[in-house]
Amino acid sequence: MSKAPPAPPSLQELRKEIDSIDEQVHRLLMARGDIIDRLIQVKQTQEVGSAFRPAREASMMRELVRRHRGILPLDTIESIWRVIISTFTYVQAPFAVHADVSVSEPAMRDSARFHFGFVVPYVAHFSAQAAVEAVAKSKGDLALVSAISSRTPWWIALEADGAPKIIARLPFLERADHPAALPVFVISRVADDAMVTEVQMWSVRVSGWNADIARALAPLAEIVAVPDTAFDGAALLVSDAGTGLEKIKMALIAAGASVRSSALVGSHATRYTVPPNGAARS
């Protein structure tokens, strides 16, 4: 006779397993804190401005995507890790998040809390320009501004040497029903070797801007445009994901615009798109 299959574990046994895992997670977080405490003494992070390392964070997020499985939603994992990273960064070198709420205060607050948690101070501003100015006056703060529209060309303030730069675009993992779906740029000062340069951000000022030129440029790069009536032109924030600035300039000229100036104002990692019930893809 074949043996009867083993009885399934009881609810009490399964809950004990969960309690054991929770304890291990807590102990590992405390161990991480001990390492951060030692890191502060070794690196003296407070003396070099923002402690954020965009390239390292992008690498960590990609590793999460690679190894993730099971029923827990991927964006939940992203939020947990983002809050862990942000909180320990705050412990190293306290900072605040300055958010432009002119697009949507609830959506911007959701984005800030999803990515940075509740420990990091949140400061609301009524324009992107005000949020960027606050970061420029700080030692290591961040600004969150809309990545898809603007009333003013706030990115012009990032052109100068030593000015804050765009260091990330969030959410890193995008899906249709993301709990913090507002597309935002993160602006701060970080070390040059900490930047990730897969998508370069350019401030480009043009004369002769119109809807036809915008349509001609659309296949080459994502653009935020603010009209400049004084020059019959526009200030553009151009996301170059590999096309190349010279090719973008040539397309502008071919479409009838004149390029007045261009300046690199930051860069960020290539993001992932998560289709419904599918694996993330970059």
Q: Which residues contact 278 (CB under 8 A, 6 or more apart)?
A: none
63 and 168 in a single domain? The answer is yes
**pLDDT, tens digit, 9 for 90 and up, residues 107-142:** 999 999 999 999 999 999 999 999 999 999 998 899
Q: Is residue 122 one of the residues assigned to a domain?
A: yes
247 and 172 in a single domain? The answer is no
Q: Which domain holds residue 111?
A: 51-194+269-273
- Host H or E run for residue 184: strand 184-188
Indicate if the alpha-carbon torsion angle 70, 75, 80, 86 is positive or negative.
positive
92 and 208 in a single domain? The answer is no
**pLDDT, tens digit, 9 for 90 and up, residues 165-218:** 999 999 988 887 888 989 999 999 988 888 888 999 999 999 988 888 999 899
The distance from CA 122 to its chain's CA centroid, rounded to whole angstroms, is 16
234 and 178 in a single domain? The answer is no
- Angle, to 10 degrees, between the axis of helix 54-67 and the axis of helix 74-92? 150
Q: Is residue 108 one of the residues assigned to a domain?
A: yes
How are strands ordered across the β-sheet holding 122-125? 122-125, 97-100, 142-146, 184-188, 165-170, 258-268, 199-207, 233-240, 222-228
Question: Once rounded to an integer, what is the mean pLDDT over residues 258-270?
Answer: 94
129 and 152 Cβ atoms separated by less than 8 Å: yes
62 and 149 in a single domain? The answer is yes
Question: Which CATH number characterizes residue 55's domain?
Answer: 3.40.190
**pLDDT, tens digit, 9 for 90 and up, residues 80-111:** 999 999 998 898 888 999 999 998 999 999 99
Give the confidence band of 230 by pLDDT, cuts at 50, 70, 90.
low
